[in-house]
């Protein structure tokens, strides 16, 4: 055997030995040969180009549903993002930047959060109209509220980032697309606390009957005050009471001021769909009925136990603001 052949044989033997040792210490995971698809644990059913930011002990996930809205989720753990309520932090109707929002991301600088995103015009061939825009938060809360600041470019990079090499602001773009995941099978429960009264949204008496009233009561953490938030696949959610298994519902699908909020069997109608819209720092949101466009309101701004919760036009008062607390 020649010297070259002996050298080749020796290298092959060493390679096989190394491979055998490696597989002995690092065996393939069970089921790997089946090539089953992997569903990420932190993505809801919808949400393009997700961006996750850790801040102040919480994880924040900002996404878009390829519409005129940007939404955000907040959780103590990454896995909790899949079941956290989706809150609308921005929507826009300006013709130059109204539509097809994508690639959102947030960055903290000088005491404010800056939310960057790409948007185009509401026309069939929107691709040439896509531009990068930026919003500024009112303070240090990643969930806003936000104010529109400016358009940053004249081109159309569909994915952007503002790195700061040597402390100088820059803009980096790349044509990347996000992917959708799956909704978790077991949603987390929340209490909804009214900002003015400090009391919780509750099904009266813990009733399981269709039509049972929804009101406010001192928070006690019981099942009648716990609500599961089910993502409906657009920018709306269904709230299901943990005690009854029934959904928050606008009586008779009314759009009138003062129409009662109650519970009803899940019907899949727009009268049982609600949007969480960020309203103020500290996690305060308004709960907007998808059909009426009106908000959950404590009647008369009462702070008493048993005060009714109904729908009313948005007035900006604290009795129309709620915070979702995981339980």
Per-residue pLDDT tens over the stretch 187-202: 479 999 999 999 999 9
For the segment 68-91, the average pLDDT, to the nearest whole number, is 89
User: Each residue of 255-303: pLDDT tens digit?
Assistant: 999 999 999 999 989 999 999 998 888 889 999 999 999 999 999 999 9
b/e code 50-67 from CB counts within 10 Å (16+ = b): bbbbeeeebbbbbbbbeb
- What is the token pair recorded at 24? 């002995």
List the chain domain ranges: 48-173, 189-326
User: Each residue of 204-224: pLDDT tens digit?
Assistant: 999 999 999 999 999 998 999
Q: Is the pLDDT of residue 34 over 60?
A: no
Q: Which residues, including other chains, have CB under 8 Å from residue 301's CB and lie 6 or more apart?
A: 196, 317, 318, 319
Q: Is the pLDDT of residue 176 over 50?
A: no
Contact at 8 Å (CB) between 73 and 55? no
Q: Is the pLDDT of residue 41 over 50?
A: yes
Q: How far is CA 132 from CA 22, 255, 285, in A?
A: 47, 37, 27
Contact at 8 Å (CB) between 201 and 290? no
Of the candidate CATH numbers 3.40.50.300, 2.115.10.20, 2.30.33.40, 3.40.50.920, the domain formed by 48-173 belongs to: 2.115.10.20
- Range of weakest confidence among 16-30, 222-236, 247-261: 16-30
Model pLDDT, residue 161: 55
> What is the phi/psi pair of residue 155, to 5°?
-105, -150
Looking at domain 189-326, its CATH class is mainly beta
Q: Is the pLDDT of residue 20 over 60?
A: no
**118, 136, 106: which is closest to 68 by C-alpha?**
118
Maximum Cα–Cα distance across the chain: 99
* pTM to 2 decimal places: 0.56
Angle at CA of residue 132, ends 120 and 65, nearest 5°: 55
For the segment 131-143, the average pLDDT, to the nearest whole number, is 91
> What is the phi/psi pair of residue 77, to 5°?
-130, 155
**276, 187, 289: which is closest to 228 by C-alpha?**
187
Model pLDDT, residue 142: 94
């Amino acid at each position: 055997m020649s010297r070259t052949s002996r050298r080749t044989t020796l290298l092959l033997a060493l390679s096989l030995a190394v491979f055998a040792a490696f597989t002995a210490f690092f065996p393939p995971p069970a089921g790997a040969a089946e090539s089953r698809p992997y569903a990420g644990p932190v993505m809801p059913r919808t949400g393009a180009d997700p961006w996750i930011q850790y801040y102040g002990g919480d994880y924040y996930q900002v996404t878009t549903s390829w519409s005129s809205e940007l939404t955000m989720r907040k959780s103590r753990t990454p896995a909790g993002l899949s079941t956290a309520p989706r809150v609308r932090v921005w929507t826009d109707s300006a013709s130059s930047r109204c539509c097809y929002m994508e690639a959102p991301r947030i960055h903290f600088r000088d005491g404010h959060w800056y939310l960057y995103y790409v948007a185009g015009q509401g026309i069939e061939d929107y691709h040439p109209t896509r531009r990068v825009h930026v919003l500024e938060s009112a303070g240090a809360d990643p969930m806003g509220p936000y104010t529109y600041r400016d358009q940053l470019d004249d081109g159309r990079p569909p994915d952007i980032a503002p790195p700061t090499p040597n402390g100088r602001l820059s803009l980096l773009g790349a044509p990347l697309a996000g992917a959708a995941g799956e909704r978790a099978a077991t949603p987390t429960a929340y209490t909804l606390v009214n900002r003015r009264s400090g009391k919780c949204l509750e099904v009266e008496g813990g009733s399981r009957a269709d039509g049972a009233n929804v009101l406010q009561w001192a928070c006690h953490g019981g099942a009648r005050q716990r609500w599961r938030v089910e993502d409906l696949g657009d920018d709306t959610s269904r709230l299901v009471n943990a005690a009854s298994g029934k959904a928050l519902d606008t009586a008779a699908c009314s759009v009138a001021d003062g129409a009662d909020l109650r519970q009803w069997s899940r019907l899949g109608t727009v009268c049982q769909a609600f949007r969480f819209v960020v309203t103020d720092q500290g996690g305060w949101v308004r709960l907007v009925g998808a059909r009426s466009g009106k908000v959950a309101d404590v009647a008369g701004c009462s702070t008493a136990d048993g005060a009714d919760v109904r729908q009313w036009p948005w007035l900006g008062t604290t009795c129309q603001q709620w915070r979702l607390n995981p339980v």
